[in-house]
Copies of this chain bind each other. A is one copy, B any other.
């Protein structure tokens, strides 16, 4: 039987981290050799023989965690936010000194969500109209969601590149807000409904036809297949990759 890849989970006591521990151990080819929480020493990674880390800690800790991993030749899959351009540049420089090591930093590990955004951007140039409806639980404080805004930006960029004009809209008389928010020329509508988790629908319309691409996230465990995919693939992608779509075979 093949040996399992030795993985350390950082931020292992958080909601995402504890799911990651379960998911890694459930994978045939992976094994958690260390599960670190706040205050644990990074030296434990070395002692445990980890060759991969999953960082799901906090913005204040993630940079030190990942740099430590890279310096010790461990590949890293990172879901923590807080990676601004200076941090990314500095990490890329560090990776230049460790040529065999791979790091994946992904704001979104839901495969379906990443695919939905990529498909929507790809299709956007072929339709006259495009709008986005995102739906979330009513405890969410921001509208639209960050994911919907990013999808709209990708769509807008794809249409601009292909020379497609704005979606037609003859509205001259509206109740305030009826036509949604304008994100780079793409209308985005945010629904808030008890019972929901996180959902996004991209509607593309042309003469006589409609294409709809919808992603539903029912549970945060939906992020785990993306984390596992990241662990299995990160060693084949030396250097820095931002966004899980870089690892998907989208041919995009």
Contacts and interface: CB of A to CB of B under 8 A. Distances in A.
Copies in the complex: 4
A31 interface: no
Interface in A170-225: 170-183, 187-197, 203-225
Nearest to A135: B203
B212 A205 contact: no
A217 B222 contact: no
Contacts of A190: 171, 174, 178-180
Interface stretch (A2-10, A33-41, A140-148, A232-240): A140-148
Given A111-B126, A193-B210, A222-B206, A180 B178 contact: yes
B122 A250 contact: yes
A151 interface: no
Contacts of A126: 111-112, 115, 225, 229, 248
Contacts of A175: 143-144, 149, 181-183, 188
A167 B179 contact: no
Contact of A189 (B191, B211, B249): B191
A102 B204 CA distance: 30
Query: What is the interface of chain A mostly: helix, strand, loop, or mixed?
Result: mixed
B207 A222 contact: yes
Given A171-B141, A195-B218, A208-B219, A123 B115 contact: yes
Nearest to A252: B251
A163 interface: no
A248 B48 CA distance: 50
Interface string A128-146: 1111010100111111100
A-B pairs, 8 with minimum CB distance: A208-B222, A193-B205, A208-B219, A209-B222, A175-B181, A112-B211, A178-B181, A195-B205
25 contacts: A119-B213, A125-B249, A129-B138, A131-B192, A135-B203, A139-B170, A143-B171, A144-B175, A175-B182, A176-B177, A179-B190, A180-B180, A180-B191, A187-B192, A191-B203, A193-B204, A193-B205, A195-B206, A195-B207, A195-B216, A195-B218, A196-B205, A208-B223, A213-B213, A213-B214
